[in-house]
Amino acid sequence: VPPATPIIVGSMISSLCFFIYYIIIALATGICYNRYTKKSRMERIKMNLRKTMLSLLLALTLILSACGNKEVTNEQEIEEQQQEEEEQQDTSDDTEQKELIVYSGAGLKKSMEEIKEAFEKEYPKYSLHMIYAGSGQLLAQLEESGKGDVFIVGSKATFDDAMEKDLTNEGIPVAHHTPCIVVQKDNPLNIQSLEDLQGDVKLALGDPDANAIGKTAVKIFEKNGLAGLEDQAVVKTGTVNELYLAMEAGNADAAIVTKDGAFNNQEVVDIIEIPDDQNIDQIITASTLKTSEDEEGAQKFIDFLTNESSLESWNAHGFKPVK
């Protein structure tokens, strides 16, 4: 805001000039009047003093009025400019690009990529940096980096570990992550059940220390009296996606995966469902992280995961949304 002093001084000078001009006129008028009247010398002096004092008061009033008005005007200009700067700052905050770091299970990638695109379209100031890996790997990365905004995995055990380590806030259930058996196309070994995985079957499993389905497969074997079947595995992978690569390469006859992933790989494998009473369903759980530097943005994404468009993405890739 330009300083008000030069303007005020200019106004004072103008008023002062007016004051001097007025005094000159007043004195000249008094002199002329006195010359043509017969008043005493003392009366003439008194009259001239009164006129001079009135002129002085009038000039001072004009000066103070000009200064006061200008001061008010400049205060208003300062307030207006401050308000404009605050509005510009608010606009800048709204348009500033912000990044959210999202840790997501690798098996959720196809749905998550669609949801990511929709979220960034609806909230253009946010950019999502996705980190895909097995749930155990994600937890290890989170602990090492100490950074992140959202954690979403299909392993309840891994999520509970993160909670115990005070890394996540309260989670919400998003969708089912139901295990199943996949076999080579056209099922050449005629595998129909968990029991059929015993014997000379080359089995591919997720690493229990790295991903959710690996942990769940071990629990399913134990539940059905097949404890130790995991030792028969010829392939153990860090992510679910690697299990399909092993099947496609012919390195395994069967694998324990989840329906959603199998749904998207039917050109490579056939699906054998596990009966509900033998199965252990997994629930995909999502939460904001306590390391988040943008809790509001992180919560927006959590809420977005269960809106109508996101539920369609989950369904489209074989994930049954939690009711």
* DSSP single-letter state for residue 219: H
Among 39-48, 161-170, 184-193, the least confident range: 39-48
Q: Mean pLDDT in the chain?
A: 83
CA distance 260 to 108: 8
CA distance 236 to 255: 10
Res. 16 pLDDT band, cuts 50 70 90? low
Q: State residue 122's pLDDT score.
A: 96
Q: Given a cut of 60, is residue 9 above it in pLDDT?
A: no
Q: Give me the count of residues in the chain.
A: 323
β-strands 233-237, 203-206: how paired? parallel
**Sheet with 179-184: strands ordered across:** 233-237, 203-206, 254-258, 179-184, 269-273
- Residues linked to residue 206 through DSSP beta bridges, in sequence order: 237
Q: Given a cut of 80, is residue 10 above it in pLDDT?
A: no
Among 29-38, 240-249, 267-276, the least confident range: 29-38
- Residues linked to residue 235 through DSSP beta bridges, in sequence order: 204
pLDDT in tens, 266-306: 999 999 999 999 999 989 999 999 999 999 999 999 999 99
Specify whether the CB–CB gap between 271 and 179 falls below 8 A: no
Closest by CA to 12, choosing from 65, 51, 52, is 65
Q: CB within 8 A of 276, min separation 6: which ones?
A: none
Q: State residue 94's pLDDT score.
A: 55
Q: State residue 185's pLDDT score.
A: 96
Res. 157 pLDDT band, cuts 50 70 90? confident
Specify whether the CB–CB gap between 77 and 7 falls below 8 A: no
Specify whether the CB–CB gap between 79 and 42 falls below 8 A: no
- Cα-to-chain-centroid distance, residue 175: 22
Q: Once rounded to an integer, what is the mean pLDDT over residues 37-47?
A: 56
62 φ, ψ (degrees, to nearest 5)? -65, -40
pLDDT in tens, 44-96: 565 656 656 666 666 665 555 555 554 545 567 677 777 776 666 555 455 68
pLDDT in tens, 113-144: 999 999 999 999 999 999 999 888 999 999 99
Give the residue carrying structure tokens 């968990």: 194
109 φ, ψ (degrees, to nearest 5)? -55, -45
Q: State residue 205's pLDDT score.
A: 97
Number of neighbouring beta carbons within 10 Å of residue 74: 17
- The DSSP H or E segment spanning 298 is helix 295-304
Among 231-235, 260-264, 312-316, the least confident range: 260-264
Could you give the percent of the chain with pLDDT greater than 90? 58
Closest by CA to 221, choosing from 198, 246, 199, 239, is 198
Closest by CA to 156, choosing from 215, 109, 207, 236, is 215
Q: Given a cut of 70, is residue 227 above it in pLDDT?
A: yes
Q: State residue 241's pLDDT score.
A: 86
Please count the CA atoms within 13 angstroms of the CA of 186 that sit on its side-chain side: 1
Q: State residue 82's pLDDT score.
A: 72
Q: State residue 4's pLDDT score.
A: 46
Q: Given a cut of 60, is residue 8 above it in pLDDT?
A: no
CA distance 275 to 254: 17
